[in-house]
Structure 1
Amino acid sequence: MKKERIREKFVEALKTEFAGKGLRFSRGGMISFDVFPEGWDKRYCLDSLGQDSFDTIHFFGNETSPGGNDFEIYADPRTVGHSVVSPQDTVQRCREIFFPETAHEA
């Protein structure tokens, strides 16, 4: 339940319990949380792309606030981060950014 913040409290308890073990914990999708080795968040893929592979990298995510599993790549200076709330919102934002002439078509 969102109002009790159970997931956030659980993630904080895990961070405390496993402090210093090289693990990262974050809110995942709507009901999940993620556990992964330090440095293996969603930014990991950016290192594989190389500095000059793309002029601009756009990232769309729904857990973009601090503690969310999208935060690091959303806030990374190598990306242009977009916070979205649904698949439909993502489609609309992509239309506005990449196809502005059709952005308001149904």
Structure 2
Amino acid sequence: MGPIEKHTPLRLTKAGYKKLCKLVSERDNGCIVCRSPNVQHHHVIFRSAGGEDTIDNLVCLCPRCHTIYAHGDNELYWRCEFLKYLSWPLCVIFKRNHMRELRDIYRLKKKGGD
């Protein structure tokens, strides 16, 4: 049995992250809670908790919903709701339809733990 390899979460370069956020904005078309067009890109699993820069871990939230739902008293409940949203056919089909573009974006990862 060989050594156990530590998983390093995918971290994109600034350019890669910007491209990914553009796709997430296209997929979500506004805040996924209130539909406001003014959005921030929220990591469902926080980067500090090992969350990755992937389309499966980002959702659009307006600043108000970001504060209330992603970082509020019911943060765990909303994290589960955001994960459910990411499993909806809309999100799954969007990801499938943009797989080539996503592969190119994921190649823009930061080198060694940056």
Which structure has the higher relative contact order (CA within 8 Å, separation 6+)? 2
Q: Same fold (TM over 0.5)?
A: no
TM-score normalized with structure 2 length = 0.25
Which has the larger Rg? 1
More helix by share: 2
Please report the TM-score for the alignment, with normalisation by the length of structure 1: 0.26
Name whichever structure is richer in strand by fraction: 1
